[in-house]
Homo-oligomer: A and B are copies of this chain.
Amino acid sequence: MPFADRLADAVRLKNTALCVGLDPRWESLPRAIRERHGGATLAAVAAGYEEFCGRVVDVVAPLVPVVKLQSAFFEACGPEGMAVQQRLLDQARARGLITILDAKRNDIASTATAYADAAFAGVRLGGRTLPVWDADALTVNPYLGRDAVEPFLQSARAAGRGVFILVRTSNPGAGLFQDLLCDGQPVYEHVAAAVNNWAGENLGKCGLGDVGAVVGATYPAELERLRQLLPQAIFLVPGFGAQGGSARDTAAAFLPNGLGAVVNSSRGIIFAFEKDSSTWEEEIALATRVAIDLLARETPMGRLGRA
């Protein structure tokens, strides 16, 4: 089944398009987990991340359709951290979640294919396919151009997976290159035009493609314009919650039927507890439900249940 349809089914099933971001940071983990693992080595930190994120996955799996792993924090624990990233992706998939690996990969030709095969179905070797990350979707940086993005699309399409291309990021200095005006349009709108073409190449029954756009929620007016420029692309919207975007700021990312966007919250959910709390899982579940309710009230996502 095409990625966009799998995602749409998962969103309809959970009646929300909230994505929980797994961005673990040692100093923010619950005290009991930090004490149990000690944190004296990177392997110990990785073990703490595995326990914490694994328990978060168990908490949120009944509530949301998608989780997003921020690869940097697992890489920062070295090879042991990458092994934890792999097991968490396995666990999330086993719990029925759509998984996004947020690794912002980019390279050219066969090197891009190596990243892409690792991200999706696996590396082909002597007639077999050996899985590595086995994620449902990967974030990709477009700066290297056409033949740097296309290997990711080919690999994703061969396995029914998706690619989210960085179009407009949510950081204050994003404009340094993204805002440069070319033929009256900022660079990020040129990237958006390419994403729209790629998205149109392989539409699912839901009318959306397997190439989406990462668009920050910190610029709501741009979000609205990009939604017009990209009618067939799924938006992955970071920046909701801790990065300052409100639920209402994300509304323009959605199509009128409530599909077409995934809204990510990381710190605002996974660290929604006091460090000493022994009931942190309940607090994370509560923060997840609050975010779902807010998005249902403030965005077209609220229409999902009525379809």
Contacts and interface: CB of A to CB of B under 8 A. Distances in A.
Given A109-B171, A142-B177, A148-B173, A79 B83 contact: yes
A82 B72 contact: no
Interface stretch (A112-120, A156-164, A250-258, A274-282): A112-120
Interface residues of A, number: 66
A55 to B, nearest CB: 21
A73 interface: yes
Contacts of A114: 72-73, 75-76
B78 A170 contact: no
Nearest to A180: B182
B118 A76 contact: yes
Contacts of A174: 108, 144-145, 148
Interface stretch (A9-17, A122-130, A220-228): A122-130
A64 to B, nearest CB: 21
Nearest to A266: B111
A147 to B, nearest CB: 4
Interface stretch (A37-45, A203-211, A289-297): A37-45
Nearest to A167: B143
A192 to B, nearest CB: 11
Highest count of chain B CB atoms <10 Å: which of A83, A130, A177: A177
Highest count of chain B CB atoms <10 Å: which of A42, A108, A166: A108
Interface stretch (A99-107, A229-237, A298-306): A99-107
B73 A78 contact: no
Nearest to A115: B72
Contacts of A144: 141, 166, 169, 171, 173-174, 178
Contacts of A77: 123, 132
A176 interface: yes
A59 interface: no
A171 B187 contact: no
Nearest to A146: B173
B123 A148 contact: no
B141 A106 contact: yes
B145 A108 contact: no
Nearest to A83: B79
B177 A42 contact: no
Nearest to A147: B173
Contacts of A173: 144-148, 150
Contacts of A141: 104, 106, 141, 143-144
Contacts of A177: 142-143, 145, 187, 190-191, 194
Nearest to A75: B118
A70 B111 contact: yes
Interface string A67-98: 00010110111111011001000000000000
A169 B111 contact: no
